[in-house]
Amino acid sequence: MVDSEGMAEADFGDELPPVGNQEGEAPIVRRKTRTVVVGGVPVGSGHPIPVQSMTKTKTADWQATVAQIKQYEAAGCQIVRVTANDEAAALALKHIKQNISIPLVADIHFQHKLALIAIESGVDKIRINPGNIGNEHKISEVLKAAKDAGVPIRIGVNAGSLEKDILRKFGFPTSDALVESALRHINICEKYNFPDVIVSLKSSDVHMMIQAYRKLAKLVDYPFHLGVTEAGTTFQGTIKSSIGIGTLLAEGIGDTIRVSLTDDGVEEIKVGREILRSLHLVSFGVTLVSCPTCGRLEVDLFRIAREIEEAVAAVRTPLKVAVMGCLVNGPGEAKDADIGISAGRESAILYVKGESKGKIEEKEIIPRLLEEIKLLEKELTVK
């Protein structure tokens, strides 16, 4: 059993493999947790942090759901969640699982029979709150089925759906209320000797979400699924998610992430991957460095940067490309990148691996950069 006062703080030891150690900076030391395996993907401790998303199709339409999942996978999604909100959706899980290659999570609320169908259908994880799926007999039935099948559970605490007695106690959602709810469900799992648990503490309030995860991190060693729930549209949601998820990851807290946007799930995945890349927690694709521009600008850098970003979206080889607009910071950033340009009047100096390749005209910048990226990508792939 665990409680908010009696359990020792989780070990944040320093012997985990360092991550993000680039350019001489100290690496982020990840919080030490137990490891929970989701469909072959390990979650927790020093393992790579998987990016998740959730489908927006009707799950019962399993063909459309499979098609969307494949789009997600192509964008870099590593674990995908679907709602199992009724029996038709739950029965479709078997077909979905048979036609995808990334781990499948079933999102279930209140109805324990749907959880049993999901487990029988071969899903790789279920997202439930054990205390909300019925009486103790129903809870034990689901936990036993999950344990027998080797299916982990994510306890998904959400500020918008806290238990009524907890809301009465605190008056309104707070970080302490989220933690108390999580501990309640964790205790149920521990009572039935169910150890394969991942926990999320989501709120649309970024500060509340951050504080809740920090508090629970001191009390348990379960892996954390990070997210700012109902974050909003792409603009606001990206900012809120980057602050909430990024702050915790920078502190070593967090083992898998999902960005929630009122937008295509592909956009969620792109933002999630960029958050990880920005903190050097993963290494893939092109990191684009470009200046905000000022009155010194003598080329159409907005167009150049935009077209380069679009053209390299599918590149998976880790490369740093600098597109700089003048000769103040330009040469330094361009030399520091794998490939870069420092622009002048309707021209630019091209740098590859820190060496100047001479001046090129403005019209040559995009094709030449793409050519150099392709050459370097090929060289690194061969190595």
Tell me, what CATH number does 319's domain have?
Answer: 3.30.413.10
Cα 326 to Cα 348: distance, rounded to the nearest angstrom: 9
Please state, as a whole number, how many other Cβ atoms lie within 10 Å of the Cβ of residue 196.
21
Cα 96 to Cα 93: distance, rounded to the nearest angstrom: 5
Please tell me which residue, 313 or 29, carries the higher pLDDT value: 29
Q: How confident is residue 8, by pLDDT bands cut at 50, 70 and 90?
A: very low
Same domain, 105 and 41: yes
Same domain, 266 and 142: yes
pLDDT tens per residue, range 309-359 = 999 988 888 999 999 998 888 999 999 999 999 999 999 999 999 999 999
Cα 181 to Cα 178: distance, rounded to the nearest angstrom: 5
pLDDT of residue 23: 55
Q: How confident is residue 21, by pLDDT bands cut at 50, 70 and 90?
A: very low
Same domain, 225 and 99: yes
Cα 81 to Cα 53: distance, rounded to the nearest angstrom: 6
Residue 19 has pLDDT above 70, yes or no: no
Q: How many domains, in total, are found in the chain?
A: 2
Same domain, 264 and 306: no
Please tell me which residue, 116 or 25, carries the higher pLDDT value: 116
In a domain, 3, yes or no: no
Q: How confident is residue 383, by pLDDT bands cut at 50, 70 and 90?
A: low
In a domain, 270, yes or no: yes
Please tell me which residue, 378 or 108, carries the higher pLDDT value: 108
Cα 353 to Cα 134: distance, rounded to the nearest angstrom: 61
The residue from 259, 278, 297 where one domain ends is 278
Tokens 């982020």 belong to 28
Cα 305 to Cα 372: distance, rounded to the nearest angstrom: 15
In a domain, 361, yes or no: yes
Q: State the average pLDDT for the chain.
A: 90
Please state, as a whole number, how many other Cβ atoms lie within 10 Å of the Cβ of residue 278.
15
pLDDT tens per residue, range 52-90 = 999 999 999 999 999 999 999 999 999 999 999 999 999
- pTM attached to this predicted model: 0.87
CA 339 to each of CA 106, 316, 334, 336, 366: distance values in angstroms, whole numbers, following the listed order: 43, 16, 7, 8, 12
pLDDT of residue 10: 35
In a domain, 51, yes or no: yes
Least confident of 62-66, 135-139, 168-172: 135-139
**Residue 76 backbone class (left: φ over 0; alpha: ψ -120 to 50; beta: rest):** left
pLDDT of residue 14: 31
Q: What's phi and psi for 283, nearest 5 deg?
A: -130, 105
Same domain, 111 and 245: yes
pLDDT of residue 150: 97
First to last CA, the chain: 51
Same domain, 292 and 256: no
> Going edge to edge, which strands form the sheet with 125-128?
197-202, 153-158, 125-128, 104-107, 79-83, 51-54, 256-258, 225-226
Residue 123 has pLDDT above 60, yes or no: yes
pLDDT of residue 350: 95
In a domain, 297, yes or no: yes
Query: Is 339 in a helix, a strand, or coil?
Result: strand
Cα 103 to Cα 15: distance, rounded to the nearest angstrom: 29
The residue from 278, 301, 320 where one domain ends is 278
Strand (E) or helix (H) holding 268: helix 265-278
Q: How confident is residue 2, by pLDDT bands cut at 50, 70 and 90?
A: very low
The residue from 222, 251, 278 where one domain ends is 278
In a domain, 13, yes or no: no
Quick one: average pLDDT of 366-371?
Answer: 95
Same domain, 224 and 246: yes
pLDDT of residue 129: 82
DSSP letter at 28 equals B
Domain that holds residue 123: 36-278
